Structures are given as C-alpha cells and as structure tokens.
Structure 1
Amino acid sequence: MIVAYHSPVSHISIIGKPFNWGALFLSPSRALSWYWCFKIITFILLAFEFTMILTKGNKALSSVAAFFITYIPAIQWWFMQHLGDVVWFTLLALVAIYHYFNSKKTSSKIGFAALLSSSLIGFVLVIYPAFQVIFAYIILMYFLVHFFRALRKKELKKEDWIIMAVTLCVTGLVVGISLYQSLDAVLASLETVYPGSRVSTGGGTPIAVIASLFLNIFLPYKLPSILNQVELASSLNFLPFLLLTLPFILDKKHLKENLFGLFLSLYSVFLLFYVFVGVPEWLAKLTLFSFVTSGRAWQALAVISVFVSFWFINYVWHLDRRKIMKVVLPLSLLSFFFCVYLIVSNQMYRDYISRGMTLLAASFVLLSFLLGVFKYKRLFALSMLAICLLAGFTVNPIVSGIGVVEDKKLSYAIKDIVQKEPQAVWMTDNNMLYNYPQMFGAKMINGVRFYPDREEMKKIDTKGQYENEWNRYAHIKPLLTEGAVTMSNSRPDVLDMQVNTETIRKLKVSYLISSRDLSAEFGDEFRMVYGPDKDGNRIYHFTSK
C-alpha cells in the first residue's frame, strides 16, 4: 500500500503525499474533496510560479499558463494516476530549487529545502518509470545549472552545504524506509512480464499521430473507438509551429538567460526522435529510457511542449515585429500546412471525428499561436482559456460528496453481507465492478493488481501455461464459463480470465456480482441474494457442493 501511488497510508512516506493528508483526519468524502481541491489549487499556483520563472516574471502570460498547464488534457485524464502526480511533483521541485538558490534568508532556504524533499519523496514513490525517467532529467538538469552557477559565483555558504546534506539524508531515509518495507512488492513488480521485464527502445509511432493533438478538444464529449481517452490524450500546444522557426530567431546575446527554455526545446526534439525513430538498446538502458515506451514518451512530451510553448511566446514578444513577419509567420504557416496534410491523409481517426472538425481545431490552435506571437494579449488569453475550457476543464466532472457511490442499493447490499460475513471471498463476473466491492470491505479475488498473487494464480492456472498472461500489472476481469480455464490479454494491462465452477470452488469464492442469470446458466449452486437492480446487477451466493 505504501508504493500504491494514491493509497492513503499512515506512514512516514505520507510526507511526500500531500494529496492524501486529508485522509489522516477527515471523513472519506472530505478526504476525497481534500485530494481534488488541494491538487487542483496547488497545481494552478505551481504552474503560475513555474511559468513566472520560465518567462522571467511575465505575469500576464503566467496567469494564462497557470490554468492552461493545470488543465492539459493528458494531465486531466491522468489526474489521479501517474502523469498528474509526476508533473505536480516536478513543478514543486523546480519551484523549490529556484527559490532556494535565490533566497538570502536561512529560514526561507530551510522551507524550500523541505518542499524539495517532500517533492522528491513523492516523485520517487509514484514508481512509474515510464514518466519518471523523462521528468527526472528535467529536475536534475535544472538543479545542476543552479548548483554550479552558485558554486561558480561562490554563493554557497557552510549553511547551504548543511541544508543540502540534511535534505538529501531525509529524502533518502524516507524513500529508503518506504522501499525497504515494500521490498517484496517492488521485487514482485520487477519480476512481472509487464511492465517489469519490458525493454523499450522507442520508435514505432507513425508520424500521423501529430494529427491526434487536435482531437483533444473532442475527447471529453465523444468516446474514441481506436484507443480510450486516457491513452489518446495529449495536449494542444504550439510545438509543431515553433520548432521550425526557433533556429532562425535565436539571438546569441540572449542564450544564457533562456538556457532552460532552450534545454526544454532540445529535449522535446530528442523525445520526438525517440517516439518516431527510437534509439539503440544499449543507449536506452544507459539512459534508463528502456523503461519509457513510445506512447508514454509522447504523453510526457505533450506536457513539456506546453512549457516550451509559453516560453517561446514570451521570447518572441521581445523580437522586432518585422522579424516576426519575415520569419515566424511564414515558417509557422508552413508547419501548419504539414499538419493539414497529416489530417487530410490520415485514415486512423476518420471514424472518430470528421476531417473538417479536426481542421477547424487545428486552425483555432494556429490562430491562438499567431495571436500570441503578434502580442494581441487579451485575444490570446481568451483563445487559450477557451482551449483550456473545452479540452481540459470538462474532463473531470464536479461532484459533491460520495453519495453517488455509497447510496446505491448495490452498495448497501454489499455492506450488509460484509458485515455479516467479513471473511467471505468475492468475485465479479462479466462486468467492470472489480474494484467496487473493495470500497465496502469485501475481500476480492480479482481487481487491479500491481503484481500477481502467485499462490492464487497457481490454483487457477494449474499447468502454468498462462504465466505470461497473468504475471503482470493487470485489471483482472473474470468470466464464468462451463469450459476449461483460459487466459488472454486484450490489452497489456488487462487479464481476461475464463474460469469455471471448479476454479471458484478452489478459490473458496462465496459471493459473485454479475449481470447474468447465473442460476439459470450454472444451476442451483448459485442463489441470487440481491437484484437485479436497474443497472442489471445481481449478487449470487455460491454454495459449494
């Protein structure tokens, strides 16, 4: 539970999980409210502070960026998962590093060092290398630049070395204790087929995926058939328009003051290369990018591209208007026409959104870019906030309390049975409710497993012929059948498992939640004790003969 990224646990590791602090002293509904409100509000504040640093104090641009970064579609679709957490901790670390090295008071330095320690603890304990590796390089590079700059200017005092040493020790101690106490879970995860033994080298992504950037506006309102929204989500950014332009407008005089923005731009180019072309296996392993799939690199790039976009807009605001007309405008239009070609020639997304609507979205992004480049500040802000509202703000609905879950008839039925038989084993059949009964204390055979229960799986897969299928991080979806046990993976993180009555007898399953009439299909061993409700859900008591 310690290394489960959003599980509230009363443990020293909670220092690095501020979203979960509410669970220590609030009711479940208020603790969940704490999670969402704390994360959203601090995300906005951190994004503002980060953009202020990136743009050298441009408040107008930072105010827009604060909301735009927070509501990046990829972040919102992954908000309670890895990417949302990794980006939040990255922003906190970058802001803490900046203010530490720019503070004069010892008390302020101690405060920012404490924030840095908390962010690093949380960052490490997310334990999702596919995103962590990418953002870890940003944190490391940013720290090294500030550290060596302070070292060169002889700004580091004895107290700085003490503070940094204590910060490193506290961070290492908390992370070390957490990982040591979860060593069995970590090792079990590393020994899985997916993602543990996976070695990625990038590449394999068609360049047509660039066209998918403009689909983000439609994801909250229409289900795609190609991938789910979480997998398809990225961001609406200006990277396609600015990359071709950037080499022609850089001024050597301003390189030092824009070092971090340039690093992010070059890093984006590397990530593009990694996504579309890939790198040799030895280089992937050396850089730890062997943990990073092309798909996750693309989504991380989507976030970094937004950072680069705001830095670029701030940079061109200091350019002569004639240079913008001669260089930025024609090259950005050329890039836009390339995007148009990808949209028109792409067959992948035609069944989801029409080409006309996709072209309209691309045109609106280009318009926003040009409004920003030519310093129409109010119109630029309005267009960016419109994108933010359409593509990001509507992803996660606003809900008051958790009554929508707790007050269902099915919930009361589960709680009533669990209260009478707390040790009873449950299973779901042919539905997506595998995590639902656990909320009310039910002991589940299936659910989301970070690593497999080998003893349990050996009872199901008696001949060991499906180990590659079940030895993974997986959403376990059983289906009761009269035939033999079979297992397959419809997706890398999904275990589709067909089991029979003999199997559930071995597993000592007492209750099943299903939308089917199990009594009619499998006999009187299955006695319905609840339902069917208006959603078609039934609870069956399984009596082993």
Structure 2
Amino acid sequence: MREETMKNGRTLLKYILYAVVLAVLAEFMMTLDYHSLLGAHGNSNQQLTLSMKDAELVNCEIKDGKVTAAGEDPQLIFKDINQSVSSFQLGLKSLSSSVLDVRVYYAASGEEFSEEKSVEFSYYENQRFVTSAINGEVESLRVDIGDQEGDSYVFDELCLNPHTLTYLKHSFANLSGLRIFLYFIGIFLLFLAAQDFGRFCEMAFRYRWVIGAIVIAFCTILKLHGSSIGVLGELLTGRDVSRVWGTSRSIRTDEYVVFTEMALSQVRSGFHWFSDVWGYTPSDMFIVYGQPVLNLTTLFRPFSMGYILFGAERGLAFYWSSRLVICFLVSFEFGRIFTKDKRMLSTVYAFMISFAPVVQWWFSINELVEMLIFGQLALIILYYYVRTDSLKRKCIMVVGLVICAGGYIMTLYPAWMIPLFFVFLACALAMILEDRKRIHIKKQDVLLWGAGILVLAVSMVYIFSTSMDTITAEMNTVYPGARTYAGSMGDFDRLFKSWSSWLWSFGDTGNPCEESDFISLFPLGMVLSLIALVKSKKKDLWLIVLNVFNAFLILFFLFRMPDLIIKLSLLGHASYRLYNAIGLLNIILLLRSLAASEKTAANFKLFLPVAIVTAIMSYWGNTASITPAFKVIILISVIGVTLLLLHFEKKEYQMAFAVLMISVNLVGGGLVNPVCSGLDNVYKLPVVQQIEKLNSQEEGMWVVTGDAFMYENLPTVVGAKTLNAVATYPDEKLWEDLGLSDQDQYWNRYAHVSVEIGDETKVGLGAADVLKVEVTAEKLKELGVTYVLSLQDMEDTTGLEQVGEANNFTIYKIA
C-alpha cells in the first residue's frame, strides 16, 4: 500500500513538472514576436545598452527614483551613438498610469529630430519591454514618454540592436503569470485524464458540484470574466490591458456600454433600487436590466449578488462564471432525466446548451442564461419531488421552485421567456405522464404548494407595485413598444441556422448575435424521433409530447395563426426569436431519440434523403451572410453528422459524435467571449481616473457630449451622476424640464442620448434607439449639470472652463 502511494505521488509530481514546463513553453511560444526574433537573429550590428546615466533630461526630473514630467513635451536625449541601428528594445517599470504614449526620434549626424524619422507606440504597465525597428544610421536619439505634467515611470534600459539571447531574455519578462497558471491547470488535467480516462470521468461525475464550486471560486478570486468592456480601452488607448485570451466583441454594446456599466454604477452608488447616478431623475435599476439591488427580492436574481458580496471586479467575475458553471451542471442533470441517465449524451447536452452560440452571443443580456437555468432546474425539482416522501426535502424543493418561478418571471424578456416556457411545459407534461403512477397528492403537498404560490404572489405584487411606473412607461414606448408576431414563411430559413451559427465566432457576418442559434441539427432530431416512435413497440411519451409541441411551435413560426390562438398562447410577443425555442426543443428530441434507441438511424432508409434535404436547405439558405467557403464547411458538417448517426449503434461512432458536438459548440460558442481578468481596462483609463478625482473634489452631474455613443455612461462607473446615461425607459421629468415634453414621438423610447451643446434646445432621432439632442450651456446649468465630458474642442463655448484632458476627451466645468 505504501509502495503504491509513493508510486502515485511520484507520478503526480512528474505530471506537475511536465505541466509547468509545457505551460511556460506554451505561453512563451504564444507571446513571442517571431518577426522581431528573426530580425534579432540576423542583426550583425553592435549591441548597445543605454541607461539613465547616458540621458539628458528635458522638461522632466528624477523624483523618488522615477522620471517625472515637469512640463509639456518631456524628453530624454541620448547623444554620440554613432552607429547603424536596426531595432531597439525599450524597458520601463512603475508607470504612473496604465498606458503612456511613447515616440522615439532618431537622427543621423548633422540632422535634426523630425517626425519623418520617428517611431510611435503605446507602452502598457503590464509590459516590461517593447521592440521596434529603426533600420538607419543614428547619431542621437530622443525619447518622449508621456504627454502631460506628472506622468512618471522608472527607466530600465534602452537596448539598441538587441541580439537573439537579449531578445529572448526580454521576451521572458513579458510572459503572463496568470496565463501560465491557467495553461498549467488545463495541461495537468489532461495528463490526469490520459492516465485513466474512465476513472477520471467517474471522479468528475461524483464530485461535479464540488468541482463546479471550485471553478466559480477560482474565477472569482482571479477576477476572470467574459465582458467585452475592454473594447473601451482598445478604442481609447489601443489595447485591452485586462484581456487574457480571446477577442472582445465590439458589437455587444448592450453588454459593455449598458448592462455591465449599469452594474458597476450600482457598486459605486450603493445598490439602490432607484439609482441617483443613472440619468437625470432616479432610474429603476431592478426591473429593466436586472441590476444588483440591496433587497430580499435579489434572491430571484442570485447571480447578481456577487457584486454586493465581492465588489465590482470579483462581482463581475462571479456573475459570468457562476452562470456558466450552474447552467452547465443544471443542463447535465436535466439531460440525465430525459436521456435515461446516459451520461455521455447528458454531457453532450450540457455543452450544447451552455456553449450554444445563441447563449454565448447573448450571455450577459436579456437573461437567456437565467431562463435556461431556472426552467431546467424547476423540471429537475419536479422530477425528484414525486420521488421523495420526506417532508423536509419537499419543503426545500418548494422553496427552490418559488425561486425558479420568480427568477424566470423576472427575466422579463417575452421574446424568449414565452416560447421557452412552451419547451419547459412540454418537458413537464412528458414527465408527469411518464410518472403518473408515482404521483400521489397528499394534504401536505397542497399546503406546501399553496404556501409557495402565496409567497411567490406576494413577492411579485411587491416587485411590480414598486416598479409600476417603470413598467407602465416601458409598455407605452414608441420603441420598442408592443411587439406582435404571427408567423412568416419568410423566416423559414431561420430554422436551419443551427448549421451555420457556430461559424460566427471566427467568421464575418453583419450581426452574429441575430444569426446565432442552438446547434440543434434541425430537422434530424425531429426525424429520428418519428422513426423511434414508428419502430418502437412501446410508445415513448416524451417523444410524443415533444413532437406535438414542436409541430405547434413550427406552425406558429411559419404561418399566420388565428388571433384567438395568438392571444391565448401569448406567442405573439415572441417575435422571430421563437426559432431559438424550436432549436432547444429539437436538441432534446435528438438526444432523447438517440437514448431511446441507438439503432434508430441505422434502421431507417429515408434518413439519408432527409439529410440531403437538410444539406440543401442549410447550403442555400441565408445566402446573404454565408460565403461559398462557409457553405462548403456546412455541407461537410451535414454529411459528417449524417454518417455518424447512421452508424450510431457502434460505440466508436457514439464517441465520435460526442467529441464532434462538444468541439463544435466550444468553437462556435466557447470562443465568442474573451477571457479577461479584472477591470483595469476601465478603472485605470486616465479619463476615468480624472472623472473620479474631479467628482470626489466637487460632486456634480455630468453630461457626455459629441459623437460619444460608446462612452455616454462612462462617468457612472465611478459613481458620477450622468444626465444622458442610456434611457432604458423614458424620463418625462427630463424632457419637461428641457421644455420638450410635447416631442414624445422622439423621446418616448429606449434610447442612447447623444448631446450637443448649441444655440437652442431641440431633439430628433439619429436611429430607432438614438436620440440627437441639442441644448444650450445655460439650460444644462439650469438642470444642475456641473461637468461636461466631450470629444470635441469647446474652448470657445461661452460658460465652459476646461479642467481636465485625457484619452482625447476634454473635461469642462460649467461656470
């Protein structure tokens, strides 16, 4: 026994060592600039290293070991270099802000410094060295670092003509410890899985909830999240300093411009239901975008509680990681129910839901993830409720059902919540019919359910009465207003989007969010389910019920329904997003069919013609957004999936199908959002730091002017009240005080409010959700505005005094 323990210990240490080495190597290979490395290797010029003792200081001085700008245009001048320079490496430390602008001028003998012979770049605080090319004769160098008084840094060295070993040494200094750690975790787990895959899977299954909790804690502690808010840093400084992996999605403005910044503003303003920071009059933060509020009703939005418990950065990390992990685990548990505990298919289902392109493109907005979690969790609770006689467990389950019902209602996005409700209703009905012999209603059940319904009703009455004015205002807007959908054959091609929606994580289309869906392989699941019903002697109640609901939803999606059905079903509020619910239902149909009979596809001769029709529809549909190359990929996908399903009775084909579906979802959904750590990409922006400093010295209301669609909420992230923060519903008091109350055809809408300071006060439309407002400085002063944050030069505007400048923004104070 002792010998076995020692052997296992040695194996574990070996894996740790291998994982550390491979993790460092992976990070080094990923960050290495191969073009510069080749240049260093081919460099035959003499290497020269310059330090501060070689520099002449102009408009800057040494303070506490740092070079500090003492005025405008700070310079370091290096003379008597007198050699050919192919490239250089500049090393700085302890920057005074997250990014400093650098320009390096070089001049040959007898020449003066000029912009024609200069190199410009941004230096970020998480870098140690930056490499750039010169390729010319150099007698003297001038290095301008920073652009305003007070900018400071520690000058490490300036290496001219770095040779290969020097370049490699400096490259190691730029490695990310966080990425190395994450690589190490992944590689180490791969080693463990490879050693004994069966045992690894068994352990993962047994401790799945513990592992999930560890992953959430891990991400929260390391501040890992998937917000694209780093786009702001990229636009203002050229780089997202918080991004670890992946690509920020600039199209997700409703996430990082509105939703995430609203959450950050709540952290700074005290988690009030009605925020004094967001907009002119107190704005309802709970009912519209479901922001964290210090109130018991936040139990219906448990994932936002991270902001209250852990603050902004870790709250954001908790919000992203907990929803993904819980969605995955809940989907797995629900998959075990309808696949008859086929763990491989349940795992596939968990990936097909939590990493579905539609889920990831809409991950942090409109609460689609919450709908999937609460809907499936309610079904799981119902499943186990009829399998227990314990009163204590039933009490806990009823509490869980109340939270699920309340949480689902509070998503408040009818376009998804209503059609998805039909999917969950179909599953609930199938479960009830299958378990009808188990169901025995007792007096205690009636009392428990009655108490649960009462608590839910009281909670909803409290919430909706508190926000009744908000709800009334929102329901009576011009945009988005009341939506009605009655079906359209023109949307037929949307049913086949599952075959292409995985492409948009790396492909190009106009709006990938609207092109995304669950990768349901429609209509193969529907066909396989019908085959299973025909071939099976004992009719599968799940497949019967799901097909009935599937047929109804498809018919409603494609054809004009009678008004009575539209009103009774409420599906008129669904819009074309109904096809996403059809996609979810067809995933369940597909996997239930494969679980019910592994030989379903192999025994059905008409399956190939159906697959061919699917290929044609997927290939030719959506011609406007799919390139010929992508159409070929889709065609290959259809053929590949068809071959796997035709031979699904063989274990190796089942495993290949599982690997394929997991991989496609990880590519199509898992690569959508970036992986970032913390919010330095926001809080360390010089303009944000100036806003916070000024507002702390003299608190006041801000207005963002100019073409600043992306930045209109920026002051709110540090708790600065902002007049034209996004109007999630119309603020009648603002327009009344502006004297524009009769212009409600413009302002009565969800809107981004673009403000210009001019000679009169008027409002118009820039787009359906963009208001163009012109207002005088005097009127802004009357409204109580203190500061103006602008991308425009308004130095000559009467009544404005410049008090700050950063990131191309100028900050004015209204005199």
TM-score scaled by length of structure 2: 0.60
- Is the partner of 2:711 in helix, strand or coil? coil
2:692 is matched with: 415
Find the partner of 1:250 among 508, 533, 552: 533
What pairs with 1:475-490 in structure 2 (closer than 5 Å)?
Answer: 475-479=752-756, 485-488=762-765, 490=767
Which residue matches 2:520?
A: 237
2:607 is aligned with 1:328: yes
**Distance in 2 between the 1:233 and 1:391 partners?**
9
Larger Rg: 1 or 2?
2
Residue 362 of structure 1 and its aligned partner are, at CA, apart by 4.3
Counterpart residue type for residue 7 of structure 1? Q
Q: Shift in Å at residue 307 of structure 1?
A: 2.9
Structure 1 CA distance for aligned equivalents of residues 739 and 766 of structure 2: 15
- In the TM superposition, residue 397 of structure 1 has moved relative to its aligned partner by 1.4
Q: Distance in 1 between matches of 2:464 and 2:337?
A: 33
Offset of residue 254 of structure 1: 6.2
Q: Aligned equivalents of 1:477 and 1:456: distance in 2?
A: 14
* Alignment partner of 1:157 is 2:438: no
Q: Report whether the alignment pairs 1:122 with 2:407.
A: yes
Partner of 1:380: 657
Verify: 1:277 aligned to 2:566, yes or no: no
- Show CA shifts across 1:326-351 (max 9, x none): 132332223222322335xx2x21xx
- CA offset at residue 454 of structure 1? 0.6
Between Structure 1 and Structure 2, how many residues are aligned? 524
Checking the alignment, whether the CA contact within 8 Å between 1:526 and 1:541 is kept in structure 2 is yes
Contact 1:50/1:95 (8 A) holds in 2: yes
- Cα separation, partners in 2 of 1:124 and 1:388, compared to 1, 3 Å: same
**CA 1:269–1:474: 2 relative to 1, 3 Å:** farther
Residue 208 and residue 131 in structure 1: after superposition, are their counterparts in 2 closer, same or farther (change >3 A)? closer
Q: Distance in 2 between matches of 1:497 and 1:297?
A: 33
Partner residue of 1:339? 618
Q: Secondary structure at the match of 2:310?
A: coil
The one of 336, 340, 344 aligned to 1:56: 340
> Which of 758, 765, 770 pairs up with 1:495?
770
Three-state SS of the structure 1 residue aligned to 2:676 is coil
Report the CA distance between 1:453 and its aligned residue. Answer: 0.4
Helix, strand or coil: the match of 1:464? coil
The Cα shift of 1:31 comes to 1.7
Which string of whole-angstrom CA distances, capped at 9 and with x for unpartnered residues, describes residues 63-108 of structure 1? 1211221011111111112222222221111211212122333332
Q: In 2, Cα distance between the equivalents of 1:355 and 1:320?
A: 30
- Contact kept, 8 Å, 1:514 with 1:539, in 2: the verdict is yes
Structure 1 pair 66–424 and aligned structure 2 pair: CA distance change class (3 A): same
Alpha-carbon deviations, 1:10-44, whole Å to 9, x = none? 21212211212323322222222221221111111
Please tell me whether the aligned partners of residues 261 and 311 of structure 1 are also in contact (alpha carbons under 8 angstroms).
yes
Compute the displacement of 1:285 (Å): 2.0
C-alpha spacing 1:429/1:489, structure 2 compared with 1 (3 Å): closer
Q: Is the Cα contact below 8 Å between 2:416 and 2:578 reproduced in 1?
A: yes
Q: Structure 1: which 5+ residue stretches go unaligned?
A: none
Task: Determine if contact 2:358/2:517 at 8 Å carries over to the other structure.
Answer: yes
Among candidates 376, 382, 396, match of residue 91 of structure 1: 376
Call closer, same or farther: CA 1:124–1:206 in 2, change over 3 Å.
Answer: closer
Greater share of strand residues, 1 or 2? Answer: 2
Which stretch shows the higher mean deviation, 387-396 or 194-203? 194-203
Separation in 2, partners of 1:532, 1:222: 35
Aligned equivalent of 2:29: none
SS at 1:251 equivalent? helix
State the Cα deviation string for residues 100-145 of structure 1 (Å, max 9, x = none): 1223333322222222111111111111122121122334444455
- Aligned 8 A contact 2:619 2:634 in 1: no
Matches within 5 A, 1:250-399: 250-251=533-534, 258-294=540-576, 296-319=577-600, 321=602, 323-324=603-604, 326-342=605-621, 346=623, 348-349=624-625, 353-375=626-648, 376-399=653-676
Aligned residue type for 2:332:
F
CA RMSD of aligned residues (A): 2.8
Compared CA separation, residues 504 and 162, structure 1 to 2 (3 A):
same
Q: Residue 513 of structure 1: SS of its match in structure 2?
A: strand
Distance 1:542 1:422, change over 3 A: closer
Structure 2 gap segments, 5+ residues each? 1-284
For residues 16 and 77 of structure 1, what CA distance do their matches in structure 2 show? 23
Secondary structure at 1:496's aligned position in 2?
Answer: strand
Conservation of the 8 A alpha-carbon contact between 1:19 and 1:39 = yes
1:69 aligns with 2:353: yes
> In the alignment, residue 340 of structure 1 is paired with which amino acid?
Y
Q: Using structure 1 for the length normalisation, give the TM-score.
A: 0.87
Supply the AA of the counterpart residue of 2:772.
M
- Secondary structure of the residue aligned to 1:530 is strand
Shift of 1:489: 5.7
Q: Secondary structure of 1:390's match?
A: helix
* 1:416 Cα offset (Å): 1.0
Given the superposition, is the C-alpha separation of residues 85 and 402 from structure 1 closer, same or farther in structure 2, using an over 3 Å criterion?
same
Deviation at 1:185, TM superposition (A): 1.5
Query: Using a 3 Å threshold, how does the CA distance of structure 1 residues 206 and 148 change in structure 2: closer, same or farther?
Result: closer
Q: Indicate how the Cα distance of structure 1 residues 212 and 475 shifts in structure 2: closer, same or farther if over 3 A, else same.
A: farther
Distance in 2 (alpha carbons) for counterparts of 1:29 and 1:387: 31
Corresponding letter in the other structure for 2:302 = P
Contact 1:203-1:278 at 8 Å conserved across structures:
yes
Q: Please say if residues 686 and 806 of structure 2, whose CA atoms lie closer than 8 Å, have aligned partners that are also in contact.
A: no
Partners of 2:381 and 2:400 within 8 A in 1:
yes
Q: Give the AA of the match of 1:72.
A: A
Structure 1 Cα separation of the partners of residues 601 and 479 of structure 2 = 52
What CA deviation, in whole Å up to 9, does each residue of 1:480-505 have, x standing for no partner? 566773422624xx123142336645
Q: Distance in 1 between matches of 2:733 and 2:690?
A: 30
The reply to whether residue 513 of structure 1 matches residue 796 of structure 2 is: no
The 1-side partners of 2:543 and 2:753 are apart by 43
Q: Which amino acid aligns with 1:440?
A: V
Change in 2 beyond 3 A, CA 1:38/1:413 = same
1:260 is displaced (CA, Å) by: 3.4
Using the alignment, how far apart are the partners of 1:248 and 1:144 within structure 2?
22
Q: Does 1:170 align with 2:455?
A: yes
Change (3 A) 1:168 1:193: same
